[in-house]
Amino acid sequence: MLFLCYGNTCRSPAAEYLAKNLAENKYEKDLFDVEFVSAGLINAFGYAQPETVRFAKSRRINMSNFIPQLIDYYLLELNDLILTMEQIQVNKILQHFPKIPNLKAKVFTLKGFAGETKDVDIPDPYMTTTEYYNKTLEEIEKFVELGLKKIIELNKNYT
């Protein structure tokens, strides 16, 4: 499963590490064979934003091994599910990688995949306040868990 945001330094790494934590500690029986990664559309920084690291740490999640990466053909083709933070990122992926088979069927916004129908974007908190960062990361946390629950249900129905 691939999480995607603009620069892969705040939202998508938070989603990746929150998902890994939930899979290891809460849903280990249901998600033991799911891998979580994240990427960005641009190379913004070579590290996760400090606010993201602090938020993860407050959840007892260690992000010290995180290295941002750019989206590429291989990552998009390899992952069965791609969850973005904004609809514009869905559109850019579909526009720039039209030759990937079934891409449209596996790329969604995180909130949209988790069941939100109205406001499917999670805005980038870069250059905002710590309070706004935390609010954004709490929203990601909520929708990551809802998304994982949906995957578990879909897998139960599939088997």
CATH number at residue 32: 3.40.50.2300
**Strands (DSSP E) along the chain, which ranges?**
2-5, 37-40, 82-84, 107-109
Beta-bridged to residue 4, according to DSSP, are 39, 84
Q: Quote the pLDDT of residue 138.
A: 98
Q: Is 71 left (phi over 0), alpha (psi -120 to 50) or beta?
A: beta
The boundaries of the domain holding residue 37 are: 2-158
Number of neighbours of residue 27 by Cβ within 10 angstroms: 17
Count of structural domains, the chain: 1
pLDDT at site 50: 95
Residue 89 DSSP symbol: H
pTM of the shown model: 0.95
Instruction: Report the SS3 class of residue 32.
Output: coil
| Bridge partner list, 82 | 2, 107
Q: What phi, psi does 95 have (nearest 5°)?
A: -70, -40
Closest CA to 7 of 58, 36, 48: 48
Residue 159: what pLDDT? 58
Residues of the chain with pLDDT under 50: none
